[in-house]
Amino acid sequence: MLPAFFLLLFPTLLLLGAIGMTVAGRTEPAFRVLALYENGGHHVAYSQRARQWLDQLAEQSGFAVDYIQNTDTLDEALLSRYALFIQLDYPPYGWKAEAVTAFENYISQGRGGWIGFHHASLLGEFDGYPMWQWFSRFLGDITYANYISTFAQGTVNVEDAGHPSMQGVPVSFRIEKEEWYTYNRSPRLNVHVIASVDEATYRPDTPIKMGDHPVVWTNPQAPARNLYIFMGHAPELFDNTAYTTLVRNAIFWAAGR
């Protein structure tokens, strides 16, 4: 027979146990995100604002975000902990060999989702590094060609309003300031285009154009959920409701939520 004092305490212990389980349930994140971000160059201000916005979204939505500034620790063991990998303006060159292999496996084996922003399509030979051919094919078999260094305003038109990343996003929205990249070809033949920029709306006008100009797309051939969002230079993007809605949607879609 249980001691009398234990019988008296038993309901309290059960209540405390239930409370502990509830607290534990609340603190366990719904999923984890790893963001590789730039901490130098021209995109520091964007990365800093993006981190603030991501941290706030994570706190409000019950997921967790961790950050790394280079690929020194990026390997398969690290990536296995995350449902989503965000390439936050980090370029596709200069990665450690182990990081390259880990990322290719993560995508090609569908181990998690991926969102790339802006600088992630800087594909070519830069700073003495060769082009990452696998990454070029992943993004639609493209190579970086040029950019609008003086920046331009432009209107983005949604082509696939039914894609989950575009829920609640206007069919067209204006980006006030961006250094629109051009590529050696449009990726359209090799990817599914979700939105494109209308180059006729550039203000000020510029001869740096490519005609068909996708800016949001996914590669349906890759087993991992993936989305590339070109816009990602100016921190003011996070004052644009259309942009933040797109990014929020992309996070939950790519994470499989």
Give the pLDDT confidence of 65-97 residue by residue, as tens digits: 999 999 999 999 999 999 999 999 899 999 999
pLDDT of residue 238: 97
pLDDT one-digit tens code per residue, 157-168: 999 999 999 999
Amino acid at 191: V
pLDDT of residue 54: 97
Amino acid at 186: S
- 222 DSSP 8-state letter: S
Average pLDDT of span 7-18: 39
> Whose CA is closest to 86, among 178, 208, 211, 224?
224
Residues 6+ apart with CB under 8 A from 54: 33, 35, 65, 86
pLDDT of residue 39: 74
Contact 142, 156 (CB under 8 A): no
Report CA Rg, the chain: 22
Q: How far is CA 184 from CA 88, 137, 142, 144, 209, in A?
A: 23, 13, 6, 6, 11
**Band of residue 38 on the pLDDT scale cut at 50, 70, 90:** confident
Contact 178, 231 (CB under 8 A): yes
Contact 33, 64 (CB under 8 A): yes
DSSP per residue, 121-182: G--S-BTTBPP-HHHHHHTTS--EEEE-TT-EEEEEEES-TTSGGGTT--SEEEEEEE--EE
Amino acid at 172: S
Average pLDDT of span 130-141: 98
Cα–Cα distance for residue pair 20/26, rounded to 1 Å: 10
Lowest mean pLDDT among 1-5, 135-139, 211-215: 1-5
pLDDT of residue 16: 36
**Band of residue 44 on the pLDDT scale cut at 50, 70, 90:** confident
pLDDT one-digit tens code per residue, 121-134: 999 999 999 999 99
DSSP per residue, 45-113: HHHHHHHHHHHHHHHHHT-EEEEESSSTT-SHHHHTT-SEEEEES--SSS--HHHHHHHHHHHHTT-SE
Average pLDDT of span 165-193: 98
Residues 6+ apart with CB under 8 A from 66: 32, 33, 34, 35, 82
* Beta pairing, strands 214-218 & 181-183: unpaired
pLDDT one-digit tens code per residue, 52-73: 999 999 999 999 999 999 999 9
Q: What is the pTM of this model?
A: 0.88
In the chain, the domains with their CATH numbers are: 31-254 (3.40.50.880)
